Amino acid sequence: MELLDTLTERVRAEFLEMPGLRLTVAQVQRLCGMERTICGLVLGSLVKANFLCVKADGHYARVTEGSGANADLRLDPCRARAS
């Protein structure tokens, strides 16, 4: 379980370091050198923790934090747009 925690923190750090980052499972696998099953567990735990969300196109994106004066002006990458 320690390895899973380490990998989860690595992925979290990548998304924190690069605002607006959107990656597929395959891209996260390559970036962090993970096996697909482990990558799925890591991404799943970050979604469950409400740090990441999965877009309709399969990309993972960071959930926008809704605090601050301009929170309503920020675009939430996880929210579907109304057409």
The better pLDDT of the pair 7, 83 is held by: 7
Provide the angle, in degrees to the nearest 10, between the axes of the packed helices 36-48 and 25-32: 110
pLDDT value at position 75? 56
pLDDT band at 5 (very low <50, low <70, confident <90, very high): very high
pLDDT exceeds cutoff 70 at 77: no
How confident is the model over 12-16, as a mean pLDDT?
Answer: 96
Q: What whole-number percentage of the chain has pLDDT above 70?
A: 76
* Domains parsed from the chain with CATH numbers: 2-73 (1.10.10.10)
pLDDT at residue number 64: 81
Measured between alpha carbons, how far is 63 from 76 in angstroms, rounded to an integer?
7
For residue range 18-76, list pLDDT tens digits in order: 989 999 999 999 999 999 999 999 999 999 999 999 999 999 999 985 444 444 444 55
